[in-house]
Every structure is written in C-alpha cells, then in structure tokens.
Chains A and B, each alone.
Chain A
Amino acid sequence: MTIETSTLGVLALIAIMAVVTLITRFGGVFVMSFIRINARTESFINTMASSVLIAIIVPMAVSGDAGALAALVATAAAMLAIRKPLPAIAIGLMAAASVRYLV
C-alpha cells in the first residue's frame, strides 16, 4: 500500500507517523500497568534503563568516523574526571571538531 505525496497524502503520512510514535511513547507504560512490580522486575527495568544508553552509543562509536569516536572517548574521560555532564559534552564536541579539522 502506498500513499501519494499530495497535500492530503502528506498529512495522512504525518498522521500515521505521529500515531505510531505515540504508541511507542504510551505502550511501555501501558503494558507495565498490568505487570506486578516486585524487586526482580524493578531490577530488570533499572538495569535495562542504563543499558538503553549503552545500546545506543556502542554502534554509534563503531560505525562512526574518527571524529565520532574521539567525541565519545573524550566525553567519557572528561565525565570520569570532572563528573559534570555539560563540560564533558563540550569537550567531546571539541574533540570531534578538532579531529575532523585535522584528518
């Protein structure tokens, strides 16, 4: 099934995207409201929460260019050293920009 990108068609496509995205925003919470939360399920979702971050970042580091890798390494080092997110991010971006300028 295809939709033509006429004015109405585009509106329909945007509506489809909005609804699908809304389902992902609501769905996890909706399902959880039927699940008994005990120590084990809470441990699962807490570990899962920080794993989401790692699962986003690792392929980004592996598939990215030298600048991307430099940004992540510099952010990690700065974060472990100074423990302040915003300066760490700024250092990461500067690392990416300098590596890309040099390479």
Chain B
Amino acid sequence: MSETSYTYSFDARKARTEFFRLMPISLFVLAFGAAFGLAAIQEGLSPLQAILMSTTVFAGASQFAAVDIWGAEVSVLPLIAVVFAINSRHLLMGASLYPMLKTVPPGQRYAMLLVLTDANWAVSAQEYQAGRHNLEVIVGGGLVLWLAWIAGTALGVYFGGLLQNPKTLGLDMVLGCFLLAMALGGKKTPRVLMAWLVAGAASLAAWRWLPPNMHVVAGAIAGGLVGLFWLEPEVRARTAGEGTDDH
C-alpha cells in the first residue's frame, strides 16, 4: 500500500466512446429493467420507490430477490443477507481491478466503483488480461448501463402491462450470453482452462449444497486458487529472478 504514484491518465474522450460501445448491451439492460419495474409494482412498491431503488442500488438480481421477499413488513436481516450474498461478487470484481485502480487517486477510484456492474467489469477485466488498461469502460460503460437500468425501470412501472413475456424472445439470457462471450474472448491457456474447470465444479457444488447465492463467490475463489498455485511460466521466472517482487 506504499504506492503513491497515480500514473493512470484518464481519457474522458475514450470514456465517451465506451459509453456508446456498451449502448447495444444496455438496450437489453433496459428490457431487464422494465421487467424489474413491473415486478416491483406487482409487489406493492410505488413507481417512484421502484425508480429510487434502481437508481441507488443498481444491482438487478439482488433487486429482484428483494422485491420477492416484499410484503406488509420486510425482515431486515434476511434482506441484508440476500442482497449481500448476491452482490458479494462485486467484492471480487473490484479486487480484480485493483492493479489498475491503484494507479488512480482514491477519490476517483471509489467514484468509478459507484457504477461497477457485471458488463462493464467483464469488458475491463478481459482487456486487462490482454494487457490493455481500460478504466474508461468502467465509467462510460457503467454510466450508460446505469441510465438504461433507471430508464428501463421507469418504463416497466408505467408501461409494464404492455410488456410481453421477455423470455419468449430469449431476453432473460442476455447477461449470461454476454458474460460467456467475454470469458471465451479471453486467453485460453491450460492454466485458465483448469481454473474454469475447478470454478465450474465448485460453483455447481455450492449451488447444489451450500445456502442460496453463494455459488459465484465459491466458484470464483476456487478458480482463483488454481492461479495462486499455478503461475504462468514467464511470471514464475520473473518471481524467481527478483526474489521478492513488489511492483
């Protein structure tokens, strides 16, 4: 934590490009948001409350789960547990961006994380694997995804009745397909494939036998352990050469 050199030069123009680059995927987020808006209204939230929730929480799966346990009264601890469990993947996503985020001042660093979500993180993490540093997609992409989520929620609460079942169009699979495309677009070394195998198996086991919503974290940490013990050859050579390596 001794690094005080904030070397990342943030390019606002590139952030604007990333805003438009993630616009196609945000159209799907719009549809998903509309489905949430409709569900929220049906569970008894007012339109403004649903829109406020989407604006301040901005985490779709956890919002669906929350309105699912909505009633005349809501138990606070189960609500916290469910929201934390579903969103705990953010902890790992943020941690994985740390090598880049440590090169921007803390104020900007945490401001960027306000709009961290699956899609913009997936793009940034994949580019990082390929050696490109792209925090602009977190900001620009996150902004367009956030706006789409809010606008979609608003559409859903006011015009949700007009929405035909999005499942028949396959729209419920947008995020799954997007994340899969991101994974397969990255490096596929034997080490990565082994990590995927372990992650998939651990996630499946956790999904089957652990309490709900823990499978993402369980799978991701299991996959990470493969990386902890199996270094890329060039990295191993570098570590051996330098002894202690703190860059």
From B5-13, B110-118, B143-151, B155-163, the one touching the partner chain is B110-118
- Is B90 a contact of A28 with CB atoms below 8 Å? yes
A50 to chain B, nearest CB (A): 6
Interface residues of B, dominant DSSP: helix
CB proximity to B under 8 Å, residues A31-55: 31-55
- Is A1 a contact of B84 with CB atoms below 8 Å? no
Bound-complex Cα distance A35 to B238 (A): 20
- Is A96 a contact of B170 with CB atoms below 8 Å? yes
Q: How many A-B residue pairs have CB under 8 A?
A: 308
- Is A3 a contact of B74 with CB atoms below 8 Å? yes
* Residues of B contacting A67 in the complex (Cβ-Cβ under 8 angstroms): 167, 170, 173
Residue of B93, B170, B224 with most partner-chain A CB within 10 A: B170
Instruction: Select which of A4, A16, A43, A95 is within 8 A of B227 by beta carbon.
Output: A43
Bound-complex Cα distance A32 to B97 (A): 10
- Is B79 a contact of A52 with CB atoms below 8 Å? no
Produce 1/0 per residue, B59-103, CB < 8 A to A. 100110010001111111101100110011111111111110110
- Is B223 a contact of A54 with CB atoms below 8 Å? yes
* Residues of A contacting B83 in the complex (Cβ-Cβ under 8 angstroms): 16-17, 20-21
How many residues from B make CB contacts under 8 Å with A? 109
* Residues of A contacting B184 in the complex (Cβ-Cβ under 8 angstroms): 76, 79-80
Say if the beta carbon of B191 comes within 8 Å of chain A. Answer: yes
- Is B101 a contact of A42 with CB atoms below 8 Å? no
Bound-complex Cα distance A95 to B173 (A): 10
Which residues in A have some Cβ–Cβ distance to B below 8 Å? 1-5, 9-11, 13-18, 20-29, 31-64, 67-68, 71-72, 75-76, 79-80, 83, 85-86, 88-89, 92-97, 100-101
- Not counting A18-B56, A53-B183, a sample of 7 additional A-B residue pairs whose C-beta atoms are within 8 angstroms of each other reads A20-B83, A25-B116, A46-B96, A47-B227, A59-B204, A76-B180, A85-B182
